[in-house]
């Protein structure tokens, strides 16, 4: 076996830094594998637990619920959350995401389901997309009050106030879910009140805006071609919402939408392009675009205490409380 001259490790097959390194012998070094257990969080007074969604694939989720579950007999909104990680790293149990979900649930008084979808390269795309579609079907199965998970069958959940939210790769999958609901029958069981795309991971072969001069463009190309080595490359409909074969923005079914980008993020112009296209299809006041100045991709996960992250969570709480504008 070929070996690196500087170490005893096998030679590198794929270097997808900073996320993952795959060696020729098939072993993988992956970032973002730390895990914290569910349970009661005294800081936010939120309780969480892990459950299995699809036994056949092992897909699971971490469910969060606030201590104060209802007020004046008012049911709580339900959030289906899809974490980021370029389809190769992270999970709901990663401390960054676990803490974010606790904070979000504690500040918005919502019930939240964070999906642990399968990751590449062990499970090549579209496995993650299939898993998130299975997750929304699983959630919808509780709308009649007889689903398998008791926390979601309780009277506190309002299935007419379902929100789909995600950051980075998770936001990409939120777009695909909401564009497939029409005609699937799910729209007869649940009502998607809003979708929230945080720093969506959209891409494409031809540069948009400042991408043409951004040195990070080659890196993003490399990441995507690793997780989805299709003949369509960076114009695969899984990553480019304007590519042939991708569900169009006019097929996205929801009452309201919030698209957030970060000013220093290489993906920011893709988020703006998406917002511009979808806002032409919707009534004024139904979609909002928000730019966080001076911050980079998913800063709110890595620096949750900064003023900008607090403001971002306030934005998320605003759309859930039917107050999209401030």
Catalytic residue set:
168, 265, 297
Per-residue tokens: 26:
């098939």
| Backbone phi and psi for residue 29, each to the nearest 5 degrees, phi listed first | -105, 120
DSSP string computed for 17-74: TTTEEEETTS-EEES-------SEETTTTEEEEEEEEETTTTEEEEEEEESS--BTTB
Tell how far CA 50 is from the center of its chain. 18
Nearest alpha carbon to residue 62 among 50, 74, 44: 50
In the sheet that 40-41 helps form, which strands lie side by side, from edge to edge? 40-41, 46-54, 59-66, 111-116, 76-82, 157-167, 192-198, 256-262, 287-292
Per-residue tokens: 41:
């969080």
């Amino acid at each position: 076996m070929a070996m690196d001259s500087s170490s005893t490790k096998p030679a590198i097959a794929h270097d997808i830094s900073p996320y993952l390194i795959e060696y020729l012998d098939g072993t993988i070094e992956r970032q973002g594998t730390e895990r914290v257990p569910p349970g009661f969080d005294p800081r936010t007074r939120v309780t969480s637990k892990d459950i299995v969604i699809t036994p056949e694939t092992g897909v699971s989720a971490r469910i969060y619920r606030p201590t104060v579950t209802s007020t004046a007999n008012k049911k709580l909104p339900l959030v289906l959350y899809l974490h980021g990680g370029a389809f190769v790293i992270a999970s709901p149990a990663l401390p960054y995401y676990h803490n974010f979900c606790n904070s979000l649930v504690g500040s918005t008084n919502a019930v939240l389901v964070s999906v642990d979808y399968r990751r590449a390269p062990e499970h090549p795309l579209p496995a993650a997309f299939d898993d998130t579609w299975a997750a929304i079907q699983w959630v919808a199965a509780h709308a009649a009050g007889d689903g398998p998970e008791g926390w979601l069958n309780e009277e506190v959940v309002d299935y007419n106030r379902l929100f789909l939210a995600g950051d980075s790769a998770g936001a990409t999958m939120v777009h695909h879910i909401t564009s497939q609901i029409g005609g699937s029958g799910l729209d007869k069981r649940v009502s998607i009140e809003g979708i929230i795309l945080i720093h969506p991971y959209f891409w494409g072969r031809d540069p948009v805006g400042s991408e043409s001069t951004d040195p990070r463009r080659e890196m993003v190309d490399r990441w995507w071609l690793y997780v989805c080595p299709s003949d369509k490359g960076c114009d695969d409909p899984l990553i480019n919402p304007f590519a042939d074969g991708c569900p169009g923005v006019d097929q996205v079914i929801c009452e309201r939408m919030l698209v957030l980008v970060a000013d220093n993020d290489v993906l920011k112009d893709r988020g703006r392009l998406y917002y511009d296209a979808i806002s032409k299809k919707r009534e004024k006041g139904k979609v909002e675009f928000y730019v966080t100045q001076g911050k980079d991709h998913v800063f709110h996960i890595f620096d949750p205490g900064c003023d900008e992250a607090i403001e971002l969570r306030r934005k998320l709480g605003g759309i859930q409380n039917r107050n999209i504008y401030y």
